[in-house]
Chains A and B, each alone.
Chain A
Amino acid sequence: MKSLRWYPVILLVVLGLLLPGAAPSASAAEKTVVIGFTASKTGKFNVEATRQINGLHLWMEQVNAKGGIKLADGTVAKFADKYYDDESKKGRVQELYTKLISADKADFLISPYSSPLADASAVIAQQYNKIMITTGAASDSTYKKGFTLVYQTYTPASRYLTGAVDLLGKLNPAAKTLAIVHEKDKFSTDVVNALKAYAESKGYQIALFEGYDSGTTDFAPFINKIPQPVGAIMGGGHFADTTTFAKQLYEKKINASMIALLVAPPEPKFAELGEACISVVGSSQWEPAAKYSPEAAKKLGMEYYGISVADFTKSYQAKYGGETPSYHSAGGYVAGLLLQKAIEQAGSTDTAKVKAVLDGMNLMTFYGVIKFDNTPKAHGLQVGHDMVYIQWQKGKDGKPAKEVVWPAAAATASAFVCPVRK
């Protein structure tokens, strides 16, 4: 009987010996999913890419804070990132993505910012059988190369500025000419070729159609060629060159009913141009004023997934010192969110299973509708998402304020014709 008093002690010792063994088995139930990407921490895409990565990091922080994703086999998937600076150079991308897959064992990939860089990275993703969600990459042509594992979050370039032509028709029906000055890169060229065809189909005459080299800082030779008066000036390229173009248009006092430019205007930093940004229109993939909600999804008969627009904006501002998220930020977040949804639904991180979910995806998020083309002709091309158009107007405090002006259903203010600059 006396020896029975030792039984609890023996039991504890046995459990103690067993627990160290049990601990590893508990941690084995947790799996780290590595998301690999390159980020343009330096170079001309620095502004856009930084916001994109901020968005992605916010998503990762939130999904991990909620305990990750429980897979079908009971394992919990948590996310970690691995990334390198691509210096905004296409030449570095393929080497770095190969390293991300081979050395860093990335499970899924997010594209770098910009179409040329994303296009280069997509080749590596496909070669190594890795799923890549592209964000910040709107060029159509990437998805017409036979890739089967590359999925686009952005509205394609071919639909980027066509809405601006419709807006011009409404703003100034008398306008009949367009001057198109664009960066000679893949994305901008795709955009303006589609824009030109669309404008011509609507009866507009193209008074100037000319491209400039990436990195151009002197736009005077192009601006001097814009006939006066002109209905609208459209084009641009990326943040650095487009901002300079807008500034020099203002300095040269060029008049047009509308100035609609790519990429830069939706960025909050564009407001630093002061007076020069007023009346400039920009096409945006997403705005904080966007009206995507579970109710809107229900009306369309589709599922709503993830965070709300208001919560995304609020949590982004809280994490990044009050900075308002731009569409680049939203693009970064939604790239992670789509992977989350696909892994969750597949119950696995297996490429084939996740791919099957992505192929059939048709849902609404805070960023808008997401649906991918799953035909061999343009596999992965975004077919669900639509652009919104913003215009910089003078706010109540006299400072530049960004307003959604098109489509009319999403507008927060009415668009106005550019005031005469004299």
Chain B
Amino acid sequence: MWEQLAASLTDGLLLGFVYGLAAMGLTLIWGVMSVINLAHGPVIALGMFGTYLLFTHLGLNPYLAVVIVAVLGLPAGFLIYGVAVHRVINAPHLSSLLATFAVNMIIIGIGTAVFSTSPQNIDFSMGTLEAGPLTVPGTRFVAAFGAVLFTAGLYLFLYFSRPGKAIRAVANNRRAAELMGIPSSLILALSFGLGTMLATAAGGLIATFFPFTILSGGIYELKSFVICVLGGLGHPLGALLGGLILGGLEGLVPTFMPVSWVPVVEFGLFVLVLLVKPSGLMGAK
């Protein structure tokens, strides 16, 4: 029993880091510009396919491919922001919701036409790490470590660089930031780019251990919403915490009940947080 619990919890928590990274992109965009990005899932899937293509066609190490894909995610985010979000940024939320939903449909449509919906797989092994009752595939461990690195990088950027500080200023009060001479349009584009970058990185890391299709991002987008609400919308560190809670639950619940109960518990918690602490665990009071 305890062995199963330890093994299951470890698997869940390792996955939780990657969930957290995926949710961080969503929460950053929401926090800075109050846009619910419905293109988040397909962008995660694009990260998966980008990593897959660099691995299979150019023979790159998948982790190097994840870095390249993440870097490419930045201009991709600029593009999505410029084409679909910028003009509706001050419009009611429904406009930006529909605009990002349109981007979602476009990416899925093109992705289905190009890649089909057949499952793809990055055939790469990092061996297995063993410690007592724990047997963890190396790819999951490296993915969790990668997620921590990306999170640390984001924090260093947000707290110790001028553009990062500008992002925080715009998130805090866009009008005041503009009065201080911060070009808010550029900062909003940069934030969207960073959010997209984090999503593609998460997708790339997930692709190193799970098979995927162009539709696979949907499930991680759904989890990202739960995580954002758990951790507090607009709070990147809260997203990581939320990811760990969700991953922990996914490890914990199957030990005591059938795996099919996991979503029931997850979404039960989602509703509970919305009722008791709508701002999330790390959100403002």
- Point out residues on A near B: beta carbons under 8 Å: 41-44, 46-47, 87-88, 184, 210-213, 217-218, 220-222, 224-225, 240, 243-244, 248, 251-253, 272
Query: Which residues does chain A contribute within 8 Å of B116, judged by CB atoms?
Result: 41-43, 46
- B111-128 Cβ-contact flags toward A at 8 Å (1 or 0): 010001111010101001
Chain A CB within 8 A of B221 CB: no
The contact of A224 among B8, B137, B210, by CB within 8 Å, is B8
Bound CA span A6–B39, Å: 84
Most buried by B among A43, A213, A243: A43
Q: If A221-B8, A252-B137 touch, does A211 touch B260 (CB 8 Å cutoff)?
A: yes
Query: Which residues does chain A contribute within 8 Å of B15, judged by CB atoms?
Result: 218
Could you list 24 A-B pairs, sorted by A, with CB under 8 Å? A41-B116, A42-B112, A42-B117, A43-B116, A43-B117, A44-B213, A46-B116, A47-B118, A87-B117, A210-B259, A212-B259, A213-B260, A217-B210, A217-B212, A218-B15, A222-B259, A225-B4, A240-B119, A243-B211, A244-B211, A251-B135, A252-B128, A253-B130, A272-B123
- Point out residues on B near A: beta carbons under 8 Å: 4, 7-8, 11-12, 15, 112, 116-119, 121, 123, 125, 128, 130, 135, 137, 210-213, 216, 250-251, 254-255, 258-260, 262
Q: If A43-B118, A210-B258 touch, does A218 touch B251 (CB 8 Å cutoff)?
A: no
Shortest beta-carbon distance from B167 to chain A in Å: 33
Query: Which residues does chain B contribute within 8 Å of A248, judged by CB atoms?
Result: 137
Bound CA span A217–B258, Å: 17
Shortest beta-carbon distance from A375 to chain B in Å: 36
Most buried by A among B119, B128, B216, B251: B119
Query: Which residues does chain A contribute within 8 Å of B7, judged by CB atoms?
Result: 224
A225 with B118: CB separation less than 8 A? no
Q: Which residue of B lies closest to A240 (CB)?
A: B119
The contact of A221 among B117, B125, B210, B251, by CB within 8 Å, is B251
Q: Which residue of B lies closest to A250 (CB)?
A: B128
Bound CA span A87–B216, Å: 15
Bound CA span A217–B8, Å: 16
Bound CA span A205–B85, Å: 58
The contact of B118 among A44, A211, A244, by CB within 8 Å, is A44
Additional 4 contacts, C-beta under 8 A, given A184-B260, A224-B11: A217-B216, A220-B12, A224-B8, A240-B211
Q: Which residue of B lies closest to A275 (CB)?
A: B125
Bound CA span A128–B29, Å: 53
Shortest beta-carbon distance from B266 to chain A in Å: 13
Shortest beta-carbon distance from A43 to chain B in Å: 5
Main secondary structure of the interface of B (DSSP, over half): mixed
Bound CA span A87–B7, Å: 37
Bound CA span A210–B210, Å: 21
Q: If A87-B117, A210-B259, A251-B128 touch, does A220 touch B210 (CB 8 Å cutoff)?
A: no
B254 with A222: CB separation less than 8 A? yes
Q: If A218-B210, A221-B262, A251-B137 touch, does A88 touch B117 (CB 8 Å cutoff)?
A: yes
A221 with B137: CB separation less than 8 A? no
Shortest beta-carbon distance from A47 to chain B in Å: 8
B8 with A220: CB separation less than 8 A? yes
Shortest beta-carbon distance from B133 to chain A in Å: 9
B128 with A221: CB separation less than 8 A? no
Bound CA span A239–B119, Å: 10
B118 with A253: CB separation less than 8 A? no
B259 with A221: CB separation less than 8 A? yes
Shortest beta-carbon distance from B205 to chain A in Å: 14
Query: Which residues does chain B contribute within 8 Å of A87, judged by CB atoms?
Result: 117
Q: Which residue of B lies closest to A181 (CB)?
A: B259
Q: If A212-B259, A251-B137 touch, does A221 touch B254 (CB 8 Å cutoff)?
A: yes
Query: Which residues does chain A contribute within 8 Å of B254, judged by CB atoms?
Result: 221-222, 224-225
Bound CA span A253–B128, Å: 9
- By Cβ-Cβ distance, the 3 closest A-B pairs, closest first, are A221-B254, A42-B116, A217-B210
Bound CA span A210–B260, Å: 9
Query: Which residues does chain B contribute within 8 Å of A47, judged by CB atoms?
Result: 118
Q: If A42-B112, A42-B116 touch, does A217 touch B4 (CB 8 Å cutoff)?
A: no
Bound CA span A43–B214, Å: 10
Query: Which residues does chain A contribute within 8 Å of B210, judged by CB atoms?
Result: 217-218, 244
Query: Which residues does chain A contribute within 8 Å of B128, judged by CB atoms?
Result: 251-253
Q: If A240-B211, A253-B128, A253-B135 touch, does A221 touch B250 (CB 8 Å cutoff)?
A: yes
Bound CA span A224–B137, Å: 13
Q: Which residue of A lies closest to B14 (CB)?
A: A220
A252 with B135: CB separation less than 8 A? yes
Most buried by A among B4, B11, B259: B259
Shortest beta-carbon distance from B21 to chain A in Å: 16
Bound CA span A253–B212, Å: 23
Shortest beta-carbon distance from B113 to chain A in Å: 10
Query: Which residues does chain B contribute within 8 Å of A252, judged by CB atoms?
Result: 128, 135, 137
Q: Which residue of B lies closest to A216 (CB)?
A: B259
Bound CA span A248–B121, Å: 13
Bound CA span A272–B116, Å: 21
Query: Which residues does chain B contribute within 8 Å of A88, judged by CB atoms?
Result: 117
Shortest beta-carbon distance from A88 to chain B in Å: 7
Query: Which residues does chain B contribute within 8 Å of A220, judged by CB atoms?
Result: 8, 11-12
Query: Which residues does chain A contribute within 8 Å of B130, judged by CB atoms?
Result: 253
Query: Which residues does chain A contribute within 8 Å of B12, judged by CB atoms?
Result: 220-221
Shortest beta-carbon distance from B67 to chain A in Å: 23
Shortest beta-carbon distance from B14 to chain A in Å: 9
Q: Which residue of A lies closest to B123 (CB)?
A: A272
Query: Which residues does chain A contribute within 8 Å of B119, judged by CB atoms?
Result: 44, 240
Shortest beta-carbon distance from A319 to chain B in Å: 22
Shortest beta-carbon distance from A79 to chain B in Å: 28
Query: Which residues does chain A contribute within 8 Å of B262, judged by CB atoms?
Result: 221
